[in-house]
Amino acid sequence: MKPLGIERLQEENRVHARTGGCSEENFGLGFRPAFLDFETQTIYPCRFANGLPAPFHVLDGLPDEVVTDRAASGRVIAAKATLISGFVRNGFFYTRTAAARAAAEWRL
């Protein structure tokens, strides 16, 4: 499995565009972008490097224990391959697909 990087996030955004599986499409339903480490079952809400909550998936706020590569500037280039992007809502993690399905059902 490949490490999580910006290319994978961009591809996921392309695949889930207009389905409810992207941040800008489901934020109003209470979904907040996050990552789940399926190895440890730890949820990491998305944050900017300064610690503020991010409204979209960003790698720079991930803690050192899941970062596998950083640029000289400190920006995160890659994270553990066991991280999956999705959303947290009311303490529960939703994959992009699950969030899209929920968004479609809740909008009915």
Number of domain units in the chain: 1
Whether 103 contacts 44, CB under 8 Å: no
pLDDT at 65: 96
The boundaries of the domain holding residue 37 are 4-98
CA-CA-CA-CA torsion sign (41, 45, 48, 49) = negative
Task: Note whether residue 85 is domain-resident.
Answer: yes
Q: How many CB atoms lie within 10 A of CB 100?
A: 20
26-79 pLDDT, tens digit per residue, is 999 999 999 999 999 999 999 999 999 999 999 999 999 999 999 999 999 999
Amino acid at 72: A
C-alpha span between 46 and 88 (Å, rounded): 10
User: Is residue 47 included in any domain, yes or no?
Assistant: yes
Answer yes or no: are the C-beta atoms of 49 and 66 closer than 8 Å.
no
Measured CA to CA, the distance from residue 68 to residue 5 in angstroms comes to: 10
